[in-house]
Structure 1
C-alpha cells in the first residue's frame, strides 16, 4: 500500500469515527493494521473503536498488549486514560450490548492522523514484486523497443555524417546520442530501484516519470558542479528515494553492474558488429 492510499484510509477512519460509524472505522483501521503491523497510531484508534462499540474486553486486551509494546511516556499517558475508562466500564457492568461514549474521542483520534504515521518502507533487497500486470509488462517492452530503435538510428546518423561530412546528420547523431544516454541512465536506475524495492508509487507510469525527473535533476547537478556534483547528485537521489548510506552504495554498485551487463552482453547480442561503436559512444 502506497502512502497516498494509507492516508486516505486514515482520513476515512477518522471521519467515520467522528460521525459515529465505529464499526466501519474499525474495518478501515484493520486494513491498515494488516499493511503496517505494530503501529501505535493504528492500534490505539482501533482500541478506541472497540470501546465505543462496547467491546470492553477486546479494548482491555488491546490496551494490555500496547502497554507492553509501546513504552514512550506520551504513548503510555494515552493508554492510561483509555485503560482506566475501560476498567471502569467493566467494573460497572457497562459496555455490554451497546455503545459507551468516551470523553473527547474526536480529539484523541485526530492526533493520530497519517501525518504522524511512519509508513513501513523497509527498502530490503528483494527482487521486486513478480506480480506484475500485463499492461505494465507490455509498456516496459515498448520502452525497450523504442530505446533499441533509437540506438539503431544513432549508428545510422553517425555513420552517414562521418561518411558524407554532413553537419545536419552529425547534429542529429549528437541529439540522439544525448537522448540515448539519458534513456539508458533512466532504464538502469528504474531497474535498480525495482530490485531494491525503492520505487515510490508502485505504478509503472508514475514511477517511470518520477525516475526520469530525478535522474534529470541529478544529471543537471552533476553537470553544473564539477567534481562534487556527482556526490551531490547521489545525496539527492538517496534523500528522494529514502536510502541510507549503505543502500546508496548498493545503488551505485548495482547501477555499475547493470550498465556493464547491458554494454558487454546485451549490445553484442542484439547489434553484433556495430555494438563496439555503440559501446564507445555510450
Structure 2
C-alpha cells in the first residue's frame, strides 16, 4: 500500500475524531445551558413557497396561489439519546409561524446542555391552555390576534390559517379558498402532537447553540394522508369530517431537514 496514502488516511481519521471529540467535550464537560433555534422553512411539494405566486398543482388536479400560510406550534419537548425529556416551560411555549409576517423562527431559551435526538411539539393550542381563560393566555393572545389566528375568544384559536385562490378542471375561474382549522370544544378537538427524529444530534452546551432547520410542506394540508378537494368545498372551518382529516395531514407536513451546531449565541 502506498505510504503517502496511509499517511493521508491516518490524518483524516485523526481530524474526524478530534472534531467529534471537540463537540462531545463541549457538551459533556462545560455543561450550562443555551438557546435552541428552530427555523421553519416553508415549501410546496419540494418547491420554495412564494406567497402570491401561481403554479402549485397538487395531486387533486388543483392549481393553488397561496396568499397566507400561518399556524401555531406549542408545547415543545426535547428528547435525548437516553429518552430523557426536557419540557419547555408551558407558559412560554406558544408561537405563531407566519410566512406573510416573517415569523419563521422559534427560540427556545435556556435549554440544559445535552445531545438531543428528537423534538416533540403540538400544532395548535391544547384544551388545558385554552381553558385557563383569556387572562391565562398571557402575551400570546395578542400575538395570535395580530396574526389572524383568532376567530374570537369564544370561538377560539385558528391552529392553521391557509388561504389563497385555486383553479381546477371544473373550477376554471380563480376562486378563493380558506382553510381555518382549530378546536371547537371537546367535541371537535383538533390539537395534535408531532414527534420528529433529528438527522443528527442537536448539541447544546455553554458554547454550543444549535439551529434546527424544519422543512414544512404546505402541500400536505390538502394533499397528505387525506385528499381534500377544494372543488368540493373551498371553505373548511368547522367540519366534523374534514377538519380532523386536515389535522392529520398537518402532522405530516413537518420534517427536520438538518441541524447546525453553531458556536455560542448569547441570549
**Could you state the TM-score of these two structures normalised by the residue count of structure 2?**
0.21
Higher relative contact order (CA 8 A, sep 6+): 2
Query: 1 or 2, which has the higher strand percentage?
Result: 2
Q: Which has the larger radius of gyration?
A: 1
Query: 1 or 2, which has the higher helix percentage?
Result: 1
**Could you state the TM-score of these two structures normalised by the residue count of structure 1?**
0.20
